[in-house]
């Protein structure tokens, strides 16, 4: 079964469980609204690709890990869009959850999705309880405090920002989770997969800065110039467009070089290259040359 | 070690881990602000009491379970206090988190505490991975969708409310989690502990209605009459004060009668009685007669 099909099926199954029984109907609907149709599903695709490169000997675990990671990501988008953060009217070309429903339901949708992410992983503990709890720990570590995406967002309320910690937690954390959870799901140790995730995260940060600076609101489906508006650090502001593009190429070359030795190493390198071309519409297609 | 000491130590340890390293300082501080000093710690006290009644053969698990449950409860309070829900200025006699810090940090504090609750449980998987994942599942089920406290709060955004599902999820869910997680932590099966938790939850709902109707804002530390204000169902409105008191006594007698056979049955019955007297300041001390 193609990766895309496995990811969508695992997410849909988890959302359906969250909507079962005598659940409040609008919140149940909002769970689906917040997670489908998805964006590029980049994080679970990376996770699955790493799991496959490591042998993917227990697809139930990698399916669950991919769904949990993407659902955590969707939860963070719902909360990030809230009026007290980005106050975004649009997400993926449709109204944000608090616009389509209401602010209380957007808070609850995020909360319920965070909880669901951990429930998904606990449910596959009967396959391998050790790997399941390692997956839960990895996801928690990259999502919460002190070094997950909550920490990343929290830096934006500080007067003085630790830039390295900010970037690593804000953008890098869920990519580190992607590579490490892929390895864990397939029974490999996660340490040597840290660098690949961190580098992909850095690449996304720079790519996001480039898109933010260059594209207009219509193409992107969300307001542009948000980073500048809030005075956040930005690679384009720091290096200029050409400098940022050069940095991006460096980071991606390093990412591919960092892939640990494993059965599916060559194929994984191709996947990273493909994802890179997909996320960087501002660059010529063959940017790795 | 007394239950209270174990609970406070387990919570403090988890919060300290969440504050470590290069974490954003204000969010780190807010994690502590939201969880200490606590209220009566009723849910973890019930959890610990059930674990002790079941033999408490692995205190690391019951400590973790108690901390996880209380931290999830604190997270729900932080989010419930937000302007888009209760817009509460005060909680436990001090400014609510969004008042003391800001709204973004209150959203993030709740998110980070939810994640921390699961991390705490995953961290003790080395003691017994099966029990740890069962604890994670039980906590997720009573916290999220379709039947946890998120669902309970979600009912308040529905035009038409399933009253039974509303009460069971809004107030009952974390008490059911308390009794079931106490049993799981001590290696007992959770099913037979459902009724005790559900009945304690119902008792709290009625007690809360009574307090809300009878006490003034100064004594309670939060605005009174909230239920009436939002048109939520209310036992006092339905039955009058005397009727609600009678229902409360019935529920508590049933709760004590429902305690499954276990080594510490008699002592647990006394604890439930004591907790009941503690939470119902409007009743004469010997209300179980």
Contact across the interface for A151 and B102, Cβ inside 8 Å:
no
Give the rounded distance of the alpha carbon of A70 from its chain centre.
Answer: 6
User: Running DSSP on this structure, what letter comes out for residue A42?
Assistant: H
Angle at the Cα of A109 (from A108 to A112), degrees rounded to 5?
80
Q: Which of A210-219, B80-89, B264-273 has the lowest mean pLDDT?
A: A210-219
Confidence band, pLDDT 50/70/90 cuts, at residue B21: confident
Contact across the interface for A150 and B23, Cβ inside 8 Å:
no
Question: Domain residues of chain A, as ranges?
Answer: 3-279
Q: Tell me the shortest Cα–Cα distance from A33 to chain B, in angstroms.
A: 15
pLDDT tens digits, B194-247: 999 999 999 988 888 888 777 754 455 555 555 544 556 688 888 888 898 889
The reply to whether ipTM tops 0.95 is: no
Q: Tell me the shortest Cα–Cα distance from A78 to chain B, in angstroms.
A: 11
Cβ-in-10-Å burial (0-12, 13-18, 19+) of A269 comes to middle
* C-beta neighbour count of B163 within 10 angstroms: 10
B85: chain A residues, CB-CB within 8 Å: 104, 107
Contact across the interface for B105 and A154, Cβ inside 8 Å:
yes
Q: Residue A105: closest CA among chain B residues belongs to which residue?
A: B154
- pLDDT computed for residue B288 by the predictor: 41
pLDDT at A286 over 50: no
- pLDDT computed for residue B226 by the predictor: 53
CA gap A238, B180 in Å, rounded: 54
The two three-digit tokens of residue B44, written as one number: 């973890």
Contact across the interface for A112 and B140, Cβ inside 8 Å:
no
Whether the CB-CB separation of B97 and B81 falls below 8 Å is answered with yes
A26: chain B residues, CB-CB within 8 Å: 154, 157-158
| Residue range B3-279, CATH number | 1.10.600.10
Q: Percent of chain B having pLDDT more than 90? A: 70
Contact across the interface for B150 and A112, Cβ inside 8 Å:
yes
Confidence band, pLDDT 50/70/90 cuts, at residue A222: low
The secondary structure element, H or E, covering residue A95 is strand A94-95
B101: chain A residues, CB-CB within 8 Å: 157
Contact across the interface for A119 and B141, Cβ inside 8 Å:
yes
- pLDDT computed for residue B274 by the predictor: 82
CA gap A96, B111 in Å, rounded: 19
pLDDT tens digits, A61-86: 999 999 999 999 999 999 999 999 99
- pLDDT computed for residue A287 by the predictor: 44
């Amino acid at each position: 079964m193609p990766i895309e099909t496995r990811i969508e099926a695992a997410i849909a199954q988890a959302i359906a469980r969250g909507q079962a029984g005598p659940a409040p109907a609008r919140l149940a609907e909002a769970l689906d609204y917040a997670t489908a149709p998805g964006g590029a599903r980049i994080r679970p695709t990376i996770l699955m690709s790493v799991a496959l490169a490591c042998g993917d000997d227990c697809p139930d675990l990698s399916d669950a890990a991919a769904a949990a990671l993407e659902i955590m990501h969707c939860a963070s988008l719902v909360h990030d869009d809230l009026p007290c953060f980005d106050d975004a009217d649009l997400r993926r070309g449709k109204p944000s959850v608090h616009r389509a429903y209401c602010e209380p339901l957007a808070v609850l949708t995020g909360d319920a999705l965070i909880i669901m992410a951990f429930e998904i992983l606990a449910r596959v503990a009967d396959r391998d309880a050790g790997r399941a709890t390692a997956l839960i720990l990895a996801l928690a570590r990259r999502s919460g405090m002190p070094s997950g995406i909550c920490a990343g967002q929290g830096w934006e309320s500080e007067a003085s920002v630790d830039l390295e910690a900010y970037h690593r937690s804000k953008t890098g954390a869920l990519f580190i989770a992607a590579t490490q959870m892929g390895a864990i799901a397939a029974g490999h140790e996660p340490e040597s997969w840290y660098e690949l995730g961190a580098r992909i995260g850095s690449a996304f940060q720079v790519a996001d800065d480039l898109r933010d600076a260059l594209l207009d609101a219509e193409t992107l489906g969300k307001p542009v110039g948000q980073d500048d508006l809030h005075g956040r650090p930005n690679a384009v502001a720091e290096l200029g467009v050409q400098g940022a593009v050069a940095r991006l190429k460096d980071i991606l070359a390093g990412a591919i070089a960092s892939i640990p030795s494993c059965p599916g190493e060559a194929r994984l390198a191709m996947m990273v290259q493909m994802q890179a071309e997909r996320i960087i519409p501002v660059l010529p297609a063959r940017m790795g040359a």
